[in-house]
Amino acid sequence: MYKYSIKPIPSEMRLILAEKVRMMRKQAGYSQAETAQRSGVSLGSLKRFERTGQISLDSLLRLAYLFDRVDEFTALFNPQEDMRRIEKLFRD
């Protein structure tokens, strides 16, 4: 459970993402320095991200690319299908 709601608030989500990246980095056997070098993210930015969850979108995408997870970003913010249209098909 999260501190303020049943869904993570942005500050909690940042820390969740940072922890996931840290775990993927360790599973890959990369040090922070090696991850920074391979991804093109500065070492300072990577350290700050793993500690506080704060990172630029560009740097987060670079890390996602390094760990072959960048495709998952394409699903973000897709318009949801209008269910009223589908419900109308069953009513008619």
Its domain, for residue 55, covers 1-70
Examine residue 37 and state whether it is found in any structural domain, yes or no. yes
- In this structure, what CATH number is given to the domain that contains residue 58? 1.10.260.40
Residue 85 lies in a domain: no
Alpha-carbon distance of 91 to 83, in angstroms, equals 13
Does residue 89 sit within a domain? no
pLDDT in tens, the chain (92 residues): 556 668 888 999 999 999 999 999 999 999 999 999 999 999 999 999 999 999 999 999 999 999 999 999 888 887 777 667 767 677 75
Q: Does 87 map to a domain?
A: no
Amino acid found at 89: L
Structural domains of the chain, count: 1
Is residue 46, in this structure, part of any structural domain at all? yes
Tokens of 92: 């008619």
Residues 6+ apart with CB under 8 A from 69: 24
Residue type, 74: T
Query: With a threshold of 0.75, does the pTM exceed it?
Result: yes
Q: Is 84 a member of any domain?
A: no
